[in-house]
Amino acid sequence: MKAKRTSLTTILKTTLIYIELIVVAVIIIYPLIWIVGSSFGSSKGLANASPIPDHTTLNNYIDLFRNTNFPIWYVNTLKVAAANMVFGVLLSTLGAYAFSRFKFKGKKASLLTMLILQMFPAFLTAIAVYMLFLNFGLLDSLTGLAIVGVAAQLPYNIWLLKGYIDNISMSFDEAALIDGASRTQIFIRIIMPLASPMLTFLAVLQFAAPWMDFILPRLLISSEEKKTVAIGLYSMISDQTKNEFTLFAAGSVIVAIPIAILYIVLQKYLINGLTAGGDKG
C-alpha cells in the first residue's frame, strides 16, 4: 500500500514537472516562432503578422539590405561587440588575477566598492557618462560606446573571475616560480588556460551585450551612420509615419544569428563556466 502511494506521488510530481516545462517552453518558444514567421510574411504591418504566414517571401530580408541602413548598423554593432569582448575579457582577467594573487593596500575596499557598483544598473550613470563623453569628445563615437560597455561590465566580471581563480591552487604558481617563470608567464601559460571555461563564458556575454543594449547607444549616438542595430531597428517601428514590423522582425532574426552560433559552438565551455561560477563564484 505504501509502495503504491509512493508510486502515485512520483507520477504526480513527474506530471507536474512536465506540465511546467511545457508551459515555460510555450512562453519562450512562441514569441520566437512569431518573430521568425513574421519576418517571412508578405505584409508590413503588425496586424497581419502571423507565426505562419500565408504567402512566404524573402522580401523583408531583401528590403532590409537594399532600402535601409541595416548593413551599416550591423557592422557598427559587430565592431563594438568585438571590442567589448576582447578588451572586456582582457581587463577583467588582469584585474581578477591581481585581486586573487597579490596583496596590496586598499584591496578589500576596492573589492567592496566593485561589489556595491554591481548593484546599480548602468543606465543610472547615463547623465554622468554623457557629460564625461561631451568633455572628452567621445559623443557619437563607436569607441566611446565600446569604452562604456567594457567599463559597465568590469565589476561583475572581475568578481566572477576572481572567485574562479581563487580556486586554482597556488601550488601551480609556486612550482612555476621555483622553475624560474615570471608572473607574466604564469598568468599566460597557467592561469589563462585553466580559467578558459570562465573566460569563454565572459567572452560570449561581452559579445552579446551590445546587440541588446538600447539605452546607452540611444543616449550617446546621434548620427545615422553610427547607429547600432538596436536603435536602428527601433526607429523602424517608433516613427508614427512608419509601420515596418516585419522588417523589424527580419532584422531581429539576423541579429540573433551570430549570438546563437556562438552559444551552439561554445555550449560546452558555457555550461562549464556557468557550473564553475555557481560553485565557486
- Stated as kind and residue range, the H or E segment containing 5 is helix 2-39
Angle between helices 245-265 and 196-212 (to 10 degrees): 170
**Residue 281 pLDDT class (50, 70, 90 cuts):** very low
Average pLDDT over residues 189-200: 88
At 148, which amino acid appears? V
Domains of the chain: 75-250 (1.10.3720.10)
Rounded Cα distance, 213 and 165, in Å:
29
Strongest mean pLDDT among 156-160, 241-245, 269-273: 156-160
Buried b (16+ CB within 10 A) or exposed e, 43-66: bbeeeebeeebeeeeebbbebbee
Angle between helices 2-39 and 245-265 (to 10 degrees): 130
Q: Tens digit of pLDDT for each residue in 41-67? A: 877 776 677 778 878 888 889 988 888
For residue 161, is pLDDT > 60? Answer: yes
Compute the half-sphere exposure of residue 281: CA atoms within 13 Å on the CB side of its CA: 17
Give this prediction's pTM.
Answer: 0.80
At 35, which amino acid appears? I
Burial of 36 (0-12, 13-18, 19+ CB in 10 A): middle
Of residues 229 and 275, more confidence is placed in 229
- The conformation of residue 235, written as its DSSP 8-state character, comes to H
At 219, which amino acid appears? L
Share of the chain above pLDDT 70, in %: 91
**What average pLDDT is seen over the chain?**
85
- In contact, 92 and 202? CB cutoff 8 Å: yes
Lowest mean pLDDT among 140-144, 245-249, 276-280: 276-280
Rounded Cα distance, 185 and 194, in Å:
13
Q: Tens digit of pLDDT for each residue in 2-14? A: 666 677 888 888 8
